[in-house]
């Protein structure tokens, strides 16, 4: 194998790895966006549950 062939193979491999890295970054960004959406949903759910519990406790105290 000549130096030129070796350099060509290495250049192709570097380009392949850059493509894989780009796809990985895109997937990571997508996953992080999805996790952020889920986190917001969980925060809303937790807030609703806390409000419901607070109202229930307030009602029970008011009945005494």
Tens digit of each residue's pLDDT (9 = 90 or more) over 25-36: 999 999 999 999
What pLDDT shows up at residue 64?
80
Tens digit of each residue's pLDDT (9 = 90 or more) over 2-21: 999 999 999 999 999 999 99
d(CA 25, CA 18): 10
Tens digit of each residue's pLDDT (9 = 90 or more) over 35-50: 999 999 999 999 999 9
For residue 46, the Cα-to-chain-centroid distance in whole angstroms is 20
What pLDDT shows up at residue 9?
96
Let me know if 32 is exposed, middle or buried by CB neighbors in 10 A (0-12, 13-18, 19+): exposed
Q: Where are the domains of the chain?
A: 1-64
């Amino acid at each position: 194998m000549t130096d030129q062939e070796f350099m060509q193979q290495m250049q192709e491999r570097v380009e392949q790895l850059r493509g894989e890295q780009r796809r990985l970054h895109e997937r990571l960004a997508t996953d992080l966006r999805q996790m952020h959406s889920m986190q917001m949903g969980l925060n809303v759910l937790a807030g609703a549950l806390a409000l419901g519990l607070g109202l229930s406790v307030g009602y029970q105290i008011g009945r005494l």
